[in-house]
Amino acid sequence: MLELPTENNYKFERKIMNKTFATAVLSASLTFVAGFAVAQRVHDWHDLEKCHQHVEEAIQEMKTARAANHYDMQGHGLRAEEHLRAAEGELNQAIEAARGR
């Protein structure tokens, strides 16, 4: 038999929902605060070196691709290589800045 909600049932369910919501908000807030409190600034330049290595590999692959296409990529291959070289230079500067701390 289907039980119709009464006012007492409704108040009870609403109270449980409010407590559950409040607990969830409190838990999320405490988690955020705890994470912020224990977080440490990372000053690791090794990750930058890995990224630099990938950019160097991409430059070599771009050279290979340009040669395989007889350097006929309507200038896009050359510009891509130039951008990769610029990224390589920026990464070098970032590594030196991170090491200098």
Q: What is the pLDDT of residues 31-51, one digit of tens each?
A: 656 655 554 444 566 778 888
**Structure tokens that stand for 18 in this block:** 């409010």
Q: What is the pTM of this model?
A: 0.53
**What pLDDT does residue 45 have?**
63
The total domain count for the chain is: 2
Both 26 and 60 in a single domain? no
Domain coverage including residue 74: 46-99
Least confident of 17-21, 34-38, 55-59, 70-74: 34-38
Q: Are 55 and 95 found together in one domain?
A: yes
**Please, what is the average pLDDT of the chain?**
75
The separation between the first and the last C-alpha atoms of the chain, rounded to the nearest angstrom, is 73
Is the pLDDT higher at 74 or at 32?
74
